[in-house]
Amino acid sequence: MLQYRPSRTIASDRDVGIISESSNQPLMRTYVSPLGYDSTRVTRPLLRYGVEPDDTIVVLRPKDESDDTRADRAVRDVQNMLEQIEPTVSVTVQPIPFTDLRAAIRACLDVFAAARGDLLVNFGGGARDVFLPFAIAATTVTDEITAAFQYSDIDGSVRELALPSLLVTVPAAAQPTLQLVSDADGETTLPDLTAASEHSKSTVTRHLQALASGGLVTTERHGKVKYVSLTLTGELYCH
C-alpha cells in the first residue's frame, strides 16, 4: 500500500495543469499508469502534459513478475527522463496482484484513493493482467479522476479520454426522459423532448438537470434552443 496522505482534493476546474488562482502555484498531481517494458508509453504523456516539482508518478507492475530485468530497465528509463526535466519528482512502483481480479481491482482503487492532489491516469499499456483491473477501477471512480490519457499504438500520439462511469445511477423519474434522448439517436432539443414526453417542460428540464449532474447527458444552448446529447456514459446505460 502506498504511503501517501489519504485525503485528496480535486480541482473544481478540471483542466490539466491549471494554476490555482489563490496560491498562484501549480496544483499537486499524481500520475498513475501501468508500465510494461516500453517506457515511452509513460514518458510520452508526461512530456506532453508536463510535470511539476511536487508531482508524483506511480507506475503499476505485476506483483512477483518473472522478468524483473526488463521491468527494472523500463522503470529506470522513466526515472532518467524525469531527472532531466524535473529531478524532484518521485517515481513509485506499485506491485499489483495479477492472479486474482478482485484483489487487483482493489489494489488499483487503493492507489487512486492514496493519490495526492489531482489524479491523472494513463492508459498506456502494460501487462494485460494489470491493465484490465486498472481500467475497471478507473471507470468506477471517474468523478475522482481529473484527466485520463491514452498512448496510441497506431501513431504514437497521446489523446485525452472522456471516461464513462460504470456505477452511474439514474433517478426513476428521469429514466423515461433519458430513453427519449436515446431514441432520438442521442441528440435532440428541449422542445422536441417536451413534445415527445408526457411531462411539462419544467419537469423535463428538472430531469435533464439530474441526468447532466450524473454525467449521462450534456446540454448546450444555441440561441433560444437548448440541445441535449447523450454522453458515452449515457449511451452505455441505454444500451
CATH of the domain at 218: 1.10.10.10
pLDDT digits (tens, 9 = 90+) for 109-166: 999 999 999 999 999 888 999 999 999 999 999 989 999 999 998 898 999 999 998 8
157 and 183 inside one domain: no
Q: How high is the pLDDT of residue 26?
A: 54
Sign of the Cα torsion 178, 162, 146, 2 reads positive
Question: Within this chain, do residues 197 and 156 fall inside the same structural domain, yes or no?
Answer: no
Domain membership of residue 11 (yes or no) is no
Please name the amino acid found at residue 139.
T
Task: Mark which of 161, 195, 230 sits at the end of a domain.
Answer: 161
In a domain, 206, yes or no: yes
Residue 132 lies inside a defined structural domain of this protein: yes
Cα separation, 129 vs 61, whole angstroms = 9
Q: What is the CATH number of the domain that holds 128?
A: 3.40.50.11700
Instruction: From 141, 161, 181, give the residue that closes a domain.
Output: 161
* Residue 21 maps to a domain: no
Tabulate helix, strand, coil % of the chain (nearest 5).
40, 20, 40
The answer as to whether 89 is a domain residue is yes
pTM of the full structure: 0.76
Please say if the pLDDT value at position 180 is more than 70. yes
Q: Give residue 197's domain range.
A: 172-238
Lay out the sheet containing 187-189: strands in order across: 187-189, 225-230, 217-222
Give how far Cα 163 sits from Cα of 92, 113, 169, 173, 183, Å: 25, 18, 16, 25, 23
Coil, strand or helix at 111: helix
**Based on the structure, what is the number of domains in the chain?**
2
Domain match, 118 and 51 both: yes
> How far is the C-alpha of 17 from the C-alpha of 29, rounded, in Å?
9
157 and 176 belong to one structural domain: no
- Which of 161, 180, 206 is where one domain is finished? 161
Indicate if the pLDDT at residue 9 is higher than 70: no
212 falls within a domain: yes
Instruction: Examine residue 76 and state whether it is found in any structural domain, yes or no.
Output: yes
The Cα 235–Cα 79 span in angstroms is 40
Domain match, 94 and 135 both: yes
What are 52's three cell numbers? Answer: 511539476
Which whole number is the average pLDDT over 157-177?
A: 92
Q: What is the pLDDT of residues 11-55, one digit of tens each?
A: 323 333 333 334 455 578 999 999 999 999 999 999 988 899 989
Domain co-membership, 103 together with 215: no
